[in-house]
A and B are shown apart, each in its own frame.
Chain A
Amino acid sequence: MAETVNGIAFALLALASVGGSVATLATRNVVHASFWLLEVMIALAGLFLLLTAEFMAMVQLLVYAGAVSVLLLFVIMLTLRRREDAIRPRDWSWPAAGMAALFGGLILSAVARYTPSNVRMPQVAPDVAGFGKLLFTAWMLPFELASLVLLVALIGAVWWSKEGDD
């Protein structure tokens, strides 16, 4: 799959991701919602593989499907003490739906208007070795800044979630 994307695989993964994200918002149980989000993230990792971004697919699985969903489940467990608390009343909101539909329609019309439909997938495919080489040469400074951002976020998360006496 160096120069084309398999239509059937794309259709299946697109269906899985859109269906999973609708189910995330449609289910009334918060725990079920976090598992549906996990399914969406796995489907997106599959889409990254279709785009020959193997490293991004692996990171997607590790960070979103692994770390973030476990973190979400931990917070749900810590904040909802009883089983009944996980079942929420449906909160549909017509203004929010209208805003999201307006935004989506705007983006879709922009895609339809400005994307040239004859963009062919280039024959050359990105590879992980080239990715690593570029990450540690051209993107060296942003990479180090990103690690600093993660360090600050780590310290901040520990600071906020510690049992304070304030």
Chain B
Amino acid sequence: MSVGLPAFLILAAVLFSIGLYGAVSRKSAVLVLMSLELMSAAVNLNLIAFSRFVTPLKMTGQFFAVFVMVVSAAEIGLGLALVLAIYRQARSIELTGLTRLKG
């Protein structure tokens, strides 16, 4: 039994939706960042599946996935530094507590 392109696309869509739900619903900044990582990993799976099935020798999707990984690594590093800065200011990383800019 072999698996084609749609199976990978469906799996990536399911993973992305789970990550989207987490990013919107969680109230802890660390859990939101984890969900963002899940979403970018799902995008990478999509890109690599397309690369393997459509352009196996040019590997365009794989290079895009490399750059997605670079951006998401930068994002998680900066995001966690921000979480630490917020923690020093507010002694908490609950997103519901960050209402200083609320009108």
A: which residues have CB within 8 A of B? 4-8, 10, 14, 17-18, 21-22, 24-25, 30, 33-34, 37, 40-41, 44, 47-48, 51-53, 55-56, 59-60, 63-64, 67-68, 71-72, 74-76, 78-79, 88, 91-93, 95-97, 99-101, 103-104, 107-108, 111-112, 115, 117, 119-122, 124-126, 130-131, 134-135, 139, 142, 146, 149-150, 152-154, 156-161, 163
Contacts and interface: CB of A to CB of B under 8 A. Distances in A.
A150 B73 contact: yes
B69 A59 contact: yes
Contacts of A44: 41, 44-45
B26 A91 contact: yes
The listed residue with most A CB atoms (<10 A of its CB), out of B1, B45, B54, B62, is B62
B17 A126 contact: no
A136 to B, nearest CB: 11
A33 B65 CA distance: 25
Contacts of B11: 14, 17-18, 47
A139 B62 CA distance: 11
Interface of B: 1-11, 13-22, 24-28, 30-31, 33-35, 37-38, 41, 44-45, 48-49, 51-54, 56-59, 62-63, 65-67, 69-71, 73-78, 80-85, 87-88, 93
Contacts of B17: 100-101, 103-104, 107
Nearest to B73: A63
A163 B35 CA distance: 28
B5 to A, nearest CB: 5
Contacts of A159: 81
A55 B66 CA distance: 10
A91 B28 CA distance: 10
